[in-house]
A and B are shown apart, each in its own frame.
Chain A
Amino acid sequence: MSKTFTLDGKEIPFEDGQTVIQAALDAGAYIPHLCHHPEFPPSGSCKLCTVKIDGRQTASCTRRAEAGMTVESDTQELNDERRSLTQMLFVEGNHFCPSCEKSGDCQLQATAYQLHMLTPHYDHFFPNRPVDASHPDYLLEFNRCILCSLCVRASRDVDGKNVFALGGRGIGTHLTVNAASHRLADTDFSADDMAAKVCPVGVILKKRVGFAVPIGQRTFDKKPAADYVDSRLPAKED
Chain B
Amino acid sequence: MHSEYIDPILERYGHNPTKLMQILRETQEHFGHIHADAIDHLAAKLGITRAQIESTATFYSFFYLEPVGRYRILFSDNITDRMLGNMDLLERLCRQLWIERGKVSEDGLVSVDTTSCTGMCDQGPALLVNNRAATRLTAERVDAIAELVKNQTPLAQWPAEFFQVEDNIRRKDKLLGSELQPGEALRAALSKPPEALVEEVKASNLRGRGGAGFTTGLKWEACRNAPGEAHYVVCNADEGEPGTFKDRVLLTSYADKVFEGMTLCGYAIGAKLGMLYLRGEYRYLLDPLNEILQRRRNANLLGSGILGKAGFDFDIEIHLGAGAYICGEESALIESLEGKRGNPRNRPPFPVTHGYLQQPTVVNNVETFAATTLIALHGGAWYQAIGTEKSAGTKLLSVSGDCERPGIYEYPFGVTVAQVLEDCGARDTQAAQVSGPSGVCISSAEFGRRIAFEDIPTAGAFMVFDQSRDMFEVARNFAHFFAHESCGFCTPCRVGTSLQSNLMDKLHNGHGSPYDFEEIKKLNQLLLSMSHCGLGHTACNPVLDTIAKFPAAYEKRLQHKDFTPAFNLDWALGPARRMTGRDDSGAHFKEEATGETP
Contact = CB atoms under 8 A, between A and B. Distances in A.
A46 B341 CA distance: 17
B399 to A, nearest CB: 30
B491 A45 contact: yes
A97 interface: no
Given A42-B346, A46-B490, A88-B492, A169 B59 contact: yes
**Most B-side CB within 10 Å, residue of A42, A91, A171:** A171
A176 B52 CA distance: 10
Given A45-B532, A180-B40, A88 B49 contact: no
A177 B55 CA distance: 10
Contact of A45 (B36, B489, B498): B489
Contact of B51 (A125, A168, A176): A176
B40 A164 contact: no
A162 B522 CA distance: 38
A85 to B, nearest CB: 5
Given A45-B491, A47-B532, A167 B58 contact: yes
Contacts of A85: 491-492, 526, 530
Nearest to B525: A81
A133 interface: no
Given A44-B532, A50-B530, A178-B50, A170 B491 contact: no
Interface string A87-111: 0110110000000000000000000
24 contacts: A42-B346, A45-B489, A46-B491, A47-B492, A47-B532, A57-B530, A59-B532, A81-B529, A84-B522, A85-B491, A89-B491, A163-B51, A167-B59, A168-B488, A169-B59, A169-B488, A170-B494, A171-B486, A171-B488, A171-B495, A176-B51, A176-B54, A178-B50, A180-B40
Contact of A166 (B50, B55, B566): B55
Nearest to A46: B491
Given A85-B526, A88-B492, A171 B498 contact: yes
A164 B51 contact: yes
Contact of B55 (A84, A89, A167, A172): A167
B502 interface: yes
Contacts of B522: 84
A123 B494 contact: no
A233 interface: no
A48 B54 CA distance: 28
Contacts of A123: 499, 502, 566
Contacts of B484: 170
Given A47-B532, A57-B529, A125-B498, A167 B54 contact: yes
Interface of B: 36, 39-40, 49-52, 54-55, 58-61, 324, 341, 346, 483-492, 494-499, 502, 522, 525-526, 529-532, 566
Interface string A134-175: 000000000000110000000000000011111111111100
Contacts of A62: 346
A198 to B, nearest CB: 17
A91 B36 CA distance: 32
Contacts of A166: 55, 341
A177 B494 contact: no
A211 interface: no
A126 interface: no
Contacts of A113: none
B494 A171 contact: yes
Contacts of B529: 50, 57, 81
A162 B487 contact: no
Given A62-B346, A88-B499, A123-B566, A165 B486 contact: no
A88 B532 CA distance: 16
B interface, by DSSP: helix, strand, loop or mixed?
helix
B51 to A, nearest CB: 4
B488 A88 contact: no
A88 B531 CA distance: 13
B495 A169 contact: no
A162 B51 contact: yes
Nearest to A146: B491
Interface centre among B59, B484, B489, by most chain A C-beta atoms within 10 angstroms, is: B489
A45 B490 CA distance: 4
Contacts of B498: 125, 170-171
Contacts of B483: 170-171
Contacts of B40: 180
List the 7 shortest-distance A-B pairs measured between CB atoms, nearest first.
A173-B488, A178-B51, A88-B495, A165-B51, A165-B55, A167-B58, A62-B346
Contacts of A125: 498
A122 interface: yes
A130 B492 CA distance: 25
Contact of B36 (A92, A167, A180): A180
Given A88-B496, A123-B499, 6 more contacts: A47-B490, A92-B494, A169-B60, A169-B341, A172-B488, A178-B49
A147 B341 CA distance: 15
A167 B89 CA distance: 33
B474 to A, nearest CB: 21
Contacts of B346: 42, 44, 59, 62
A99 to B, nearest CB: 23
Contact of A180 (B50, B502, B566): B50
Given A44-B532, A125-B498, A176 B55 contact: yes
Contacts of A91: 495
Interface in A66-92: 81, 84-85, 88-89, 91-92
Contacts of A165: 49, 51-52, 54-55
Nearest to B495: A88
A147 B532 contact: no
B492 A168 contact: no
B539 to A, nearest CB: 11
Contacts of A92: 494-495
Contacts of B59: 167-169
A168 B341 CA distance: 9
B526 A81 contact: yes
Contacts of B566: 123
Contact of B487 (A48, A146, A164, A170): A170
